[in-house]
Amino acid sequence: MKNYLVVTAGYWAFTITDGAIRMLVVLYFHRLGYSPLEIAMLFLFYEFFGIVTNLVGGWLGARIGLNLTMQIGMALQIGALLMLTAPDAWLSVAYVMAAQALSGIAKDLNKMSAKASVKTLAGDGESRLFAWVAVLTGSKNALKGAGFFIGAALMEWLGFRGALRALAGLLAAALVATVILLPRGVGRMKSKPGFAQVFSNTPEVNWLSAARFFLFGSRDVWFVVGLPVFLSEALHWDFMQVGGFIALWIIGYGFIQAAAPKLIRNSRHGRGPGGGTARLTALALLAAPVGIALGLRWGQDPATVLIGGLIVFGIIFAINSAVHSYLILAYSDFDKVSMNVGFYYMANAGGRLAGTVLSGWAYQTQGLEGCLWWSAGFVLAALLLSLPLPEIASQGNPG
C-alpha cells in the first residue's frame, strides 16, 4: 500500500504539470499572436511521440524496472518545462514542438510505468486490482482537468516563465521522493526481453488494444477540434467558458472513472469485470454520439443537446475506459505486464492521434454532426473488436 501511494502521488504531481503546461502554451502563444492552426501544430509531436514512447517504454521498463522509467519520465518533463523558460526569441514553432515532443515522451513513460506498477503492487486480488487502477486512472484525469485551472492561475500570478519554474520545482520534489521511497526494480523481468517481444502475441491483449484505438479515437474525433470550435462559433461562448467547461468535463470524467468499481458492481467472487462488461459499455456508449447528432439534425436546442449528451457520453466513456485499463492488467502475466501495457497505450496514443487529425478534417468538411457520426463509427468498431475478449476466470488469467 505504501508503494502504491508513492506511485500514485508521483503520478498526481506529474499529471498536474501535464495539464498546466498545455494551458500555459495555449494561452501564452495565443497572446504572442500565433494562429489557432500554429498552436495546434505545437502539440502534434506531443501526440506522435506518445505512440513511439509506449512501444519502447514497455520494453525498457521490463529491462530496467518501472520505477526507473517513471523517474526518467519525470526528469524529461522537468527538462521540457525549463526549455520553455527560454527568451521569446528562441520560442519558434520548431523549438516549442521539440519541447512538447519531450513532454509527450515524458507523459507516456510516466503513465505506462505508473499503471503497470499497479499490477505488481496489487498482487493477485482482482477486486483490489480493479479498484486500484480505477482510482489511479480516474484521479489522473480529474487532476489533469485541475491542471488547466492551475496553469492559468499560475500564469496570472507568476507569469509564463515563473509558472513553468514553479511546476518544475513541484515535479523535482516528487522525483526525489520517489527515488527515496520506492524499491528498485519494480516490474523488471528476470530475463532481458528482446525488442521483438514488445509486440504482444497474446490474442486478448491484441483485441483489447485494437478496441482501445477506436475507443479513444471516438472521443477525440469530435472532442479535440469540433466541440470547442462549435461552442465558440455557433454558441458564441468565450474562451474562458469553453476552457472552463472542458476542464470541468475532464474532472467529472475522472471522478466517474475512479468510482467505476462501485458503479458497475461486478466484482463477484473476488473477480473484476471481463469482456462482457467491455462490450456492454461500448454498446451503451454508441447511443451517445448518435443521439447528439440526431438532436442537432432535428433542430433541438444545441446547448441543451450538447451539454446533456456530453454528460451521458462522459459517464459511459469513463466506465468503459476504466474497464479497459483493468483488463490490460488482468490479461497480462506479471513478468510481461510492462510490455503489454506499453503496447496497449501505443494503440491508445494512435487512436488519439487519428482522432485529433480526423477531427479537424471532419469538422471543416462535415461540421459537428459529421464528427459525431465518425465518433459513432469508431465506437461501433470498438464494440466489434471487443467481441473476442474473454471473461476473467481467476487470479487475473483470462478464461
**CATH number of the domain residue 321 falls in:** 1.20.1250.20
For residues 187 and 304, the model is more confident at 304
Per-residue pLDDT at 358: 85
Name the pLDDT band for 269 (thresholds 50, 70, 90).
very low
Per-residue pLDDT at 209: 92
Helices (H) and strands (E) in the chain, counts: 13, 2
- Computed over every residue of the chain, the mean pLDDT equals 82
The owner of cell 483488463 is 327
Q: Is residue 308 part of a domain?
A: yes
Name the pLDDT band for 383 (thresholds 50, 70, 90).
very high
Q: Which domain holds residue 275?
A: 2-184+202-398
Mean pLDDT of 13-39: 79
Q: Is residue 138 part of a domain?
A: yes
Per-residue pLDDT at 290: 97
Q: Is residue 113 part of a domain?
A: yes
Per-residue pLDDT at 122: 59
Whole-model pTM over 0.85: no
Name the pLDDT band for 291 (thresholds 50, 70, 90).
very high
Q: Is residue 197 part of a domain?
A: no
Does the pLDDT of residue 351 top 70, yes or no? Answer: yes
Exposure string of 321-356, with b = 16+ CB inside 10 Å and e = fewer, is bbbbbbbbbbbbeeebbbbbbbbbbbbbbbbbbbbb
Domains of the chain: total: 1
Does the pLDDT of residue 254 top 80, yes or no? Answer: yes
Per-residue pLDDT at 369: 94
Task: Please give the Cα distance from 218 to 226 (Å, whole number).
Answer: 12
Does the pLDDT of residue 187 top 80, yes or no? Answer: no
Per-residue pLDDT at 125: 54
Does the pLDDT of residue 57 top 60, yes or no? Answer: yes
Q: In degrees rounded to 5, what are phi and psi of residue 86?
A: -65, 160
Q: Is residue 195 part of a domain?
A: no
Does the pLDDT of residue 396 top 70, yes or no? Answer: no
Name the pLDDT band for 386 (thresholds 50, 70, 90).
very high
Q: Is residue 193 part of a domain?
A: no
Does the pLDDT of residue 189 top 60, yes or no? Answer: no
For residues 209 and 335, the model is more confident at 209
Q: Is residue 55 part of a domain?
A: yes
Task: Please give the Cα distance from 219 to 139 (Å, whole number).
Answer: 19
Per-residue pLDDT at 36: 58
Could you list the beta-strand ranges (E) of the chain: 392-394, 397-398
Torsion of CA 341, 347, 348, 351, to 10 degrees: 180
Per-residue pLDDT at 193: 52
Amino acid at residue number 274: G
Q: Is residue 77 part of a domain?
A: yes
Does the pLDDT of residue 201 top 70, yes or no? Answer: no
